[in-house]
Amino acid sequence: MQKPTDNNSDAAKATEDKKTTGASTTSSTDKDKKDNSTDESKKTAAAEKGGTGDKSTESKSGSSAKSTSSAKTSGKAQSKEQEDEGEEKPLKKFFVDALKDIYYAEHALVEALPKMKKAATTEELQDAFEDHELQTRKQISRLEKVFRSIDEKAEKKDCKAMDGIIKEAEEIIKSTPEGSMTRDAALIIAAQKAEHYEIASYGGLVQLAITLGYDRAADLLDHTLEEEEETDYLLTDIAESFINFEAEEEGEEVEDDDYDDEDYDDEEDYDEYDEEDEL
């Protein structure tokens, strides 16, 4: 996972400070740092915006020469202009929407995890669900910090994917015998589906935060990403240590019983058939 460098963090802070205070003066050191950070993380966006920016420069100067650095500078200037005018870049809008999606998903999980804990058979899985519920509450607070760090209001946006994953978990509880290891094996898979959705979401969000120059947000989101990955590994460990094996034995017992019953039923049918045949 790419981590923002200290240099980038300082530079982003300098940029943020400037935005917040509206200071018209910037020290040459801060200015240099700002240029360093944006050159890498905003390379693509700056180059893209720079194309448009260059046209205006060109029309004013009458020069046809284009340099990469002037393209980047023009692009940044235009981007700043857009922000000043209250225009929102599409990638920033998508980033905020994706934050709202995962903010909703975490809230949905906080409600679902206690139900999953109650339904779980083994103490190991119950503990894992309880621990992750507490961790999820902290992740919600961390997301609120992310919203604050980019001056956005923490809001939820319906996440149909997480709703679907939680519905699947509810169906598993209904369709598996209470107190069985099969239920735990199935609940672990349901929980891992939720973790994988979160891992994909946070993984993408970290990269977008870096691209957009939101270094503080990137650090916070990366912290949660690591927790989600650890939870996923823990669930795999629990499943593989004993739950799956014991669930498999349950299956054999049930299958044996079913087989005997079927045999018996078949014999009855056979007898009935013989009787009918004789008549």
The residue ranges that bind Fe ion (CB under 5 A) are 106, 136, 139, 198, 228
Q: What angle do CA 24, 25, 28 make, to 5 degrees?
A: 145
State the minimum distance, in angstroms, from the CB of residue 132 to Fe ion.
Answer: 6
Cα gap 197→159, rounded to integer Å? 11
State the minimum distance, in angstroms, from the CB of residue 195 to Fe ion.
Answer: 5
Chain residue at closest Cβ approach to Fe ion: 139
184 vs 198 by CB, closer to Fe ion: 198
198 vs 215 by CB, closer to Fe ion: 198
Cα gap 222→203, rounded to integer Å? 7
In contact, 235 and 113? CB cutoff 8 Å: no
30 vs 198 by CB, closer to Fe ion: 198
Per-residue DSSP letter, 154: -
State the minimum distance, in angstroms, from the CB of residue 250 to Fe ion.
Answer: 28
198 vs 219 by CB, closer to Fe ion: 198
Cα gap 16→35, rounded to integer Å? 13
**In what helix (H) or strand (E) does residue 77 lie, and over which residues does it extend?**
helix 68-84
Other beta carbons less than 10 A from residue 77's beta carbon: 15
State the minimum distance, in angstroms, from the CB of residue 232 to Fe ion.
Answer: 8
